């Protein structure tokens, strides 16, 4: 019998009422009296030298308040990078400055050169067109391989090359891996591209800066997944505003997917300009602007080798990846191809020898940073593709090959630094096989063939590291921040609670799921609990929401704070009932004394805390409010098995997804409906990456897929009805809720199964196609079948390095 | 968008007069022009809306042809042409989404002549006639390359005359992002022969695939197309498909259109 409230209940998302009835409060809904508007003049070339900026004509335009250029930001800090990677030679990465407005040079299409603040947005835009920039176009480097060649044009003149870092992991394993590969009975090699993506959250980015002359306080309203992080980065590193004089508010946010983690120039600009002109300043990104100013995702080019012994046991994995950083280091960019990618290369398998090499490269493109999954989809994709290729080469069943190599004993120390606390990969595979009706596939294939279609079945496993992250560990790995979370639980005199959390909800449903946990702990109705988040002024320190961490880390902080509250409440209850603390039990919203019929209601204890007439004042402070910080002792390791069935039209190359199944182990689940929704969204994005989405630059650095006319987003009609299951739960062993996180799994787990399915379909039709790069557009699939060229000028193949199948 | 004057005449004569001003621009359903203006890529000084002119709206049968007003929306064509010219109605019913179909007009589409628009294929395959405020232009003379037509400055498409075929069908293979046709093929069979028009594929815009027309005029079946392939020369090559791929799709879509029509 499903529960109707508390942990495990599919409580309806309370926040959706306001979102669906137009009552949400998004950043663009915030309009402050006297507000001015900024429009940015952005570079239309990928690389150029600014010889001069003439703003005279623009300054005379109607409504113009002030025009800012790079000069105004001399002496102001640049946008900081939050992670420093140390390379395989012990050198720290090359870290170029990232100015708010361009200083002397522009380095990607979209790089902001100047900003006009005017009374209206249209006036600001009009005046931007009147600015004359003497811009000397320079050769651009777009292709990572070209960028690393001797004598290549440098994105940053002050750096020694375009190589940000050359990372080896684990460097000491390199020799053993080489030896294992040489001694292998079989080595499967695969070169592949993890295609560059544009996140495209429904709500574009917005920033409103405000300055109170009376108090000297600055406020930034922004579309952020982590307002406290923005406050710290912008306050301490860019504008020099102490945190107590700076408030950052991220109200309702319409999707983030990683791209709203980072601190952006427009946020710093609006905060800075509001003080400079003593008026609030607002910026609202257009969709076109988002394509050239939001951090992009993925863009890895990888060669992976999988070594197997004569019994098909995996003996080694070696990878070489080129990771595109774009023109500047976005906030967490260096961590994505390294610590969020390399440490996952064991996957679900007991491969003893693993070596990962990553070369991070600067190019004249938009900065690249975390996007749903962030490094883990890239790791999963390579591994699960090469395993599938190996199974095909060896003529063995891809499921059996995986099962044979599964890690089965936990905790398990991988050769890539992390320790999986728990999991049961056989169980999710069993569940998947049942869901996928593998026995019935042959008949379904026959039916497809009768219609002239090829049918393929692809499966894959995944593991991810979520619940980011133990601060002491990430500190050693180069993080310039702690990754704990905090929460304050405030009980009101009438028994209701407010939970102030550093986690931020921008679609995840925290406002519903978090109260379910508290309701379960106390035994009260969920409606008595309110979640407050997104405002540095009324929440404790927070590190925000990304890496599927909210419930595992933020939820754990909330549980710890609630435990403190309950412990104190028990003392009050003990006093009221003249019993010992140790004998007090809390159940169904009432405190009772064990072994007696004495009982006092939750609300009466709360009232006593705030009206302490009959209260142990000598031992206990009045009030009922506690704060807790929670720093996880390990990552969490959600895992699962996915399957995809496709039909391929052999005449056109068009792929249709017929079935998509996901069996996930997320540990304990608080709200199954929300978890299913998270998986559905992730699957849609993973399928988008596999079939549709492609961010393409031409050789001059012009973005060819700069609008929805050319950048294909997945739509409902591209997707089947998803079949998802999360009943195979091995609870996390090290956080109080036993939860692992579910936000990214769908996007991590789905691309390889889609590609594996298409390859399976083509092979069933007698087409010996070993690999097709994503997105598997009809043109690419047709070309792969016919050994022809898929696309014309300016393709991703032209931009990327190796591996592409044309 | 830049500021502009706006006029909404109710007769063709008044619209022609309004369009005689320099930089005045006719506005049909605005499905291309308005986004272009929002991006500040077009800056007409005056927009002359054609949406209030009743005399250029509607679908009516006139003997063996269908006469469709230039201001008729795709949605109306989809509904009102379905009995007499199902191939055309089918094409109209799949342009864009409902919002586009309720605003976009046949005249607007033909005047713009986007190389990936659907309607040019229907007009050309039907051997139709474009009727303007001042003359009639045969379809074969009307299309003059990508975004180029025989229309003069300020000339308004008041109607399109389409001979009703015995059989017809339109097949489009959608570009994954825009869902405009990567290749669209309209096949129309008349007593006097078969016409095949291809949109989306060529750098020159819509064109007739005459080899297929000849083959199909003798034998209106997909098998008549066996061994026939369109040349990749002059076909569009971009991030969504090479010229070879587009040429290949012309063959596939033509066969499918013939099969669906037969």
- Within 8 A by CB and 6+ apart from B171, the residues are B184, B185, B253, B254, B256, B257, B260
Domain at B193, CATH number: 3.30.390.50
Number of A:B CB contacts under 8 A?
A: 75
Average pLDDT over residues A689-712: 97
Tokens standing for A303? 């060669």
Query: Quick check: A794 pLDDT over 90?
Result: no
Nearest to A460 by CA among A757, A759, A753: A753
Residue A264 sits in a domain whose CATH number is 3.90.1170.50
For residue A684, which phi and psi values (nearest 5 degrees)?
-60, -40
Residue matched to tokens 């300043």: A281
What SS3 state is found at B19?
helix
Mutate one of B239, B255, B256 to test the A interface: name it (highest A CB count within 10 A).
B239
Edge-first strand order for the sheet with A246-249 is A64-69, A112-118, A36-42, A281-284, A206-212, A217-222, A246-249
The beta-carbon neighbor of B240 closest among A652, A788, A791 is A791
Q: Domain for residue B81, yes or no? A: yes
Q: Are A407 and A317 part of one and the same domain?
A: yes
Using the 3D structure, point to which of A630, A656, A682 is the last residue of a domain. A630
Considering the domain architecture, whether residues A48 and A112 belong to the same structural domain is answered as yes
The answer, for A652 touching chain B at a CB cutoff of 8 Å, is: yes
Whether the pLDDT of residue A419 is over 50: the answer is yes
Check A692 against B245: CB less than 8 A apart.
no
6-45 of B, contacting A, C-beta below 8 A? 39-40
Shared domain for A456 and A509, answered yes or no, is no
Of A630, A659, A676, which residue constitutes the final position of a domain? A630
The total number of structural domains in chain B stands at 3
Give the pLDDT score at A747.
97
Range of the domain at A542: 484-630
Chain A environment of B177 (Cβ under 8 Å):
692, 705, 708-713
At which of B133, B163, B193 does a domain end?
B163
Average pLDDT over residues A624-648: 97
Integer Cα distance of B182 and B176 in angstroms: 8
The three-state (H, E, C) secondary structure of A172-187, written as one string: HHHHHHHHHHHCCCEE
CB contact, 8 Å: A286 with chain B? no
Tell me: pLDDT of A806 over 50: no
The answer to whether residues B155 and B175 belong to one domain is no
Tell me, yes or no, whether B123 and B190 share the same domain.
no
User: pLDDT grade, residue B262 (50/70/90)?
Assistant: confident
Residue A802 has pLDDT above 50, yes or no: no
Structure confidence at residue A788 as a pLDDT band (50, 70, 90): low
Are residues B67 and B96 located together in one domain of the fold? yes
Question: Each residue of B132-162: pLDDT tens digit?
Answer: 999 999 999 999 999 999 999 999 999 999 9
Q: Name the token pair of A28.
A: 């663009």
Residue B85: per-residue pLDDT: 98
Distance in angstroms (rounded) separating the CA atoms of residues A691 and A778? 9
Residue A1: the pLDDT is: 61
Average pLDDT of chain A is 95
Least CB–CB distance from B252: residue in A129, A651, A796: A651
| Distance (Å) from the alpha carbon of A704 to chain B's nearest alpha carbon | 8
pTM above 0.90, yes or no: yes
Give the pLDDT confidence score for residue A202 in this predicted structure. 96
Q: Give the percent of chain A with pLDDT over 90.
A: 95
Grade residue A314 by pLDDT with cuts at 50, 70 and 90: very high
- Asked whether residue A184 is assigned to any structural domain, the reply reads no
Closest CA to A66 of A276, A221, A208, A211: A276
Nearest residue to A298 (alpha-carbon basis) of A340, A329, A336:
A336
pLDDT at A792: 64
How far is B15 from A19, CA to CA, in rounded Å?
Answer: 44
* Pairwise CA distance, residues A473 & A498, whole Å: 32
- Do A725 and A615 lie in one domain? The reply is no
**Residue A787: its pLDDT value, please?**
83
**Predicted ipTM > 0.85:** yes
pLDDT tens by residue, B50-76? 999 999 999 999 999 999 999 999 999
Mutation site, A42, A120, A651, interface B, largest B CB count within 10 A? A651
- Single out the residue in A630, A654, A681 at which a domain terminates: A630
| Cα–Cα distance measured from residue A553 to residue B142, given in angstroms and rounded to the nearest whole number | 66
A181-217: pLDDT as tens digits: 999 999 999 999 999 999 999 999 999 999 999 999 9
Tell me the mean pLDDT in the region A273-282: 98
* Residue A557, in any domain of the structure: yes
Copy the structure tokens of residue A417.
């630094």
Q: Are residues A791 and A656 in the same domain?
A: yes
B242–A651 CB contact, under 8 Å: no
Section A145-162 average pLDDT: 97
- d(Cα A522, Cα A13) in Å, to the nearest integer? 21
In the prediction, which pLDDT does A159 show? 98
Chain A within 8 Å of B61 (Cβ-Cβ)? no
CA distance B133 to chain A (A): 33
The pLDDT, as a whole number, for residue A805 is: 30
Which pLDDT value is given to residue A2? 72
Q: Within a domain: residue A417? A: yes
Question: How high is the pLDDT of residue A801?
Answer: 35
Q: Cβ contact (<8 Å) for A792 and B39?
A: no
CB contacts under 8 A, B 219-258 vs A, are 236-245, 248-249, 252
Compute the average pLDDT of residues A130-139: 98
pLDDT tens column, A166-183: 999 999 999 999 999 999
pLDDT tops 60 at residue A559: yes
A185: distance to nearest CA of chain B, Å?
40
Rounded Cα distance, B252 and B179, in Å:
18
């Amino acid at each position: 019998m499903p529960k109707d409230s508390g942990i495990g209940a599919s409580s309806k998302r309370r926040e959706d009422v306001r979102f669906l009835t137009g009552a949400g409060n998004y950043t663009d809904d915030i309009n402050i009296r006297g507000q001015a508007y900024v429009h940015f003049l952005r570079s239309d070339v990928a690389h150029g030298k600014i010889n001069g900026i003439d703003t005279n004509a623009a300054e005379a335009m109607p409504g113009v308040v002030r025009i800012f250029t790079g000069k105004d930001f001399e002496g102001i800090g640049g946008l900081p990078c939050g992670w420093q990677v140390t390379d395989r030679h012990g050198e720290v990465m090359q870290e170029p400055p990232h100015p708010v407005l361009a200083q002397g040079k522009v380095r990607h299409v979209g790089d902001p050169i100047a900003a006009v603040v005017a009374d209206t947005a249209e006036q600001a835009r009009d005046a931007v067109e009147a600015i004359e920039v003497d811009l000397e176009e320079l050769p651009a480097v777009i292709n990572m391989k070209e960028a690393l060649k001797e004598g290549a044009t440098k994105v940053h003149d002050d750096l020694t090359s375009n190589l940000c870092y050359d990372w080896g992991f684990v460097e000491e394993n390199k020799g053993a891996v080489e030896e294992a590969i040489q001694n292998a009975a079989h080595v499967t090699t695969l070169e592949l591209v993890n295609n560059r993506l544009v996140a495209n959250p429904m709500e574009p980015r917005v920033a409103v800066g405000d300055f109170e002359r009376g108090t000297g306080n600055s406020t930034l309203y922004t579309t952020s997944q982590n307002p406290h992080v923005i406050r710290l980065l912008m306050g301490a590193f860019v504008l020099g505003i102490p945190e107590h004089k700076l408030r950052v508010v991220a109200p309702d946010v319409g999707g983030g997917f990683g791209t709203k983690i980072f601190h952006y120039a427009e946020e710093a600009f609006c905060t800075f300009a509001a003080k400079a002109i003593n008026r609030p300043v607002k910026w609202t990104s257009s969709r076109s602007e988002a394509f050239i100013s939001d951090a992009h995702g993925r863009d890895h080019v990888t060669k992976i080798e999988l070594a197997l012994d004569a019994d098909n046991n995996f003996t080694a994995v070696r990878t070489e990846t080129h990771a595109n950083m774009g023109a500047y280091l976005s906030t967490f960019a260096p961590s994505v191809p390294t610590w969020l990618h390399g440490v996952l290369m064991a996957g679900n398998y007991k491969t003893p020898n693993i070596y990962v090499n990553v070369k991070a490269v600067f190019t004249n493109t938009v900065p690249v940073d975390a996007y749903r999954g962030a490094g883990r989809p890239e790791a999963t994709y390579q591994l699960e593709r090469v395993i599938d290729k190996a199974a095909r080469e060896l003529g063995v069943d891809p499921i059996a090959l995986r099962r044979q190599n599964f890690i089965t004993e936990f905790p398990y120390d991988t050769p890539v630094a992390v320790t999986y606390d728990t999991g049961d990969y056989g169980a999710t595979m069993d569940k998947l096989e049942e869901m996928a009706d593998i026995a019935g596939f042959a008949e379904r294939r026959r039916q497809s063939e009768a219609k002239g279609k090829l049918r393929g079945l692809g499966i894959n496993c995944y593991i991810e590291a979520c619940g980011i992250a133990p601060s002491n560990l990430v500190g050693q790995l180069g993080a310039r921040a702690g990754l704990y979370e905090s929460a304050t639980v405030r009980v009101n005199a009438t028994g209701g609670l407010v939970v102030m959390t550093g986690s931020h909800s921008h679609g995840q449903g925290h406002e519903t799921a978090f109260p379910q946990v508290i309701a379960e702990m106390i035994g009260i109705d969920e409606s008595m609990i309110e979640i407050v988040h997104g405002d540095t002024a009324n929440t404790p320190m927070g590190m925000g929401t990304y890496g599927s961490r909210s419930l595992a880390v933020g939820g754990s902080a909330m549980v710890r704070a609630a435990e403190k509250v309950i412990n104190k409440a028990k003392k009050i209850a003990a006093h009221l009932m003249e019993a010992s603390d140790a004998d007090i039990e809390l159940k169904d919203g009432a405190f009772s004394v064990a072994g007696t019929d004495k009982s006092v209601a939750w609300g009466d204890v709360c009232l006593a805390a705030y009206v302490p007439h009959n209260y142990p004042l000598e031992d206990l402070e009045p009030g009922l409010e506690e704060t807790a910080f929670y720093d996880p002792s390990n990552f969490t390791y959600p895992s699962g098995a996915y399957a995809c069935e496709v039909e391929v039209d052999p005449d056109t190359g068009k792929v249709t997804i017929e079935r998509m199944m996901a069996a996930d182990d997320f540990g304990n689940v608080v709200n199954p409906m929300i978890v299913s929704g998270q998986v559905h969204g992730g699957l849609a994005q993973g399928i988008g990456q596999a079939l549709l989405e492609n961010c393409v630059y031409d050789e001059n650095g012009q973005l060819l897929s700069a609008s929805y006319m050319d950048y294909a987003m997945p739509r409902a009609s591209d997707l089947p009805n998803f079949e998802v299951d999360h009943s195979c739960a091995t609870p996390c062993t090290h956080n109080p809720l036993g939860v692992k996180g579910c936000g990214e799994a769908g996007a991590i787990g789905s691309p390889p199964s889609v590609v594996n399915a298409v390859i399976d379909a083509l092979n069933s039709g007698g087409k010996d196609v070993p690999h097709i790069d994503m997105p598997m557009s009809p043109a690419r699939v047709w070309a792969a079948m016919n050994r022809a060229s898929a696309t014309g000028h300016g393709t991703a193949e032209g931009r990327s390095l190796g591996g592409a199948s044309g | 968008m830049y500021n502009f004057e706006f006029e909404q005449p109710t007769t063709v004569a008044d619209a022609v007069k309004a369009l005689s001003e320099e930089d005045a621009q006719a506005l049909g359903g605005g499905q291309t022009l308005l986004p272009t203006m929002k991006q500040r890529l077009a800056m007409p000084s005056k927009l002359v809306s054609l949406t209030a002119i009743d005399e250029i709206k509607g679908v009516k049968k006139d003997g063996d042809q269908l006469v469709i007003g230039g201001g008729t929306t795709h949605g109306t064509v989809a509904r009102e042409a379905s009995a007499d010219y199902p191939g055309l109605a089918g094409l109209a019913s799949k342009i864009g989404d409902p919002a586009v179909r309720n605003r976009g007009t046949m005249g607007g589409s033909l005047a713009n002549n986007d190389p990936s628009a659907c309607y040019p294929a229907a007009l050309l395959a039907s051997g139709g006639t474009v009727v303007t405020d001042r003359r009639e232009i045969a379809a074969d003379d009307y299309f003059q390359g990508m975004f180029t037509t025989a229309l003069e400055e300020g000339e308004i498409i008041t109607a399109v005359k389409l001979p009703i075929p015995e059989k017809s069908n339109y097949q489009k293979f959608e570009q994954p992002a825009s869902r405009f046709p990567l290749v669209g093929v309209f096949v129309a069979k008349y007593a006097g022969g078969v016409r095949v028009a291809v949109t989306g594929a060529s750098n020159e815009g819509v064109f007739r695939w005459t080899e297929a027309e000849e083959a199909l005029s003798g034998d209106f079946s997909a098998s008549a197309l066996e061994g026939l392939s369109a040349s990749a020369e002059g076909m569009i090559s971009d991030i969504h498909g090479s010229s070879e791929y587009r040429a290949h799709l012309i063959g596939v879509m033509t066969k499918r259109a013939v099969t669906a029509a037969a």
